[in-house]
Amino acid sequence: MKILHIDSAITGEASVSRKLTADIVAKLTAANPQATVTHRDLNDGVPAIDSNWFSAVRMTPENPTPDQQRLIDMSDAYLSEVQAADVLVIGLPVYNFNLPAQLKNWLDQIARAGKSFRYTEAGPEGLLTNKRAIIAYSAAGTPIGSDFDHASGYLRFMLGFLGITDVEFVAADRLAMDREAGLARAQAALDDLAA
């Protein structure tokens, strides 16, 4: 088993989603001692895509400049980590009712036509199949699945668009209202999680 461990919280040691992703990875590796883990901390910075990225990565120039090659290599590195993984463990802290910008940037980096999805006569087809995703959702005041939770549905949709349809959530939500209850719900979901 190859595990890709993704964190995106900006709150460091105080992060609930970081603790949850670590606990999920620990559970998976305890049950699968031969598992390997690649950790990617998106808080270290994931560049937003822009016109330079589009010219380099999407337009695939025959002779890229050094700057273009750097952008290509970076996007390829993000994507290759996902392609190699059997399980993705993704920290999803909710900021302003949505996912962190660095997590959105990472999704933009890996959503590449012809590599992670393709268009067919029947519509789009995800190419990152046979993978499991476990999402560690944390929110101070946004209940998961509520009308103002624009994070979990979007992330589930994007993963599905890329072919990852086995998606589970371990949610610590409404932490500002009742922190202990939110953490207890997350722990119960973690306990129920198949390793």
Q: Which residues are annotated as a binding site for FMN?
A: 15-17
Q: Which residues pair with 135 in a beta bridge?
A: 90, 169
Candidates 178, 134, 159; CA nearest to 17 is 134
The residue whose two tokens read 């959530």 is 169
The encoded tokens of residue 58 equal: 């999407």
Calpha distance 75→57 (Å, rounded): 8
Closest CA to 40 of 4, 76, 74: 4
* Binding site listing: 15-17
- Non-local (6+) Cβ contacts of 137 within 8 A are 17, 92, 94, 144, 151, 152, 169, 170, 171, 172, 173
Q: Which two tokens stand for residue 186?
A: 């997350």
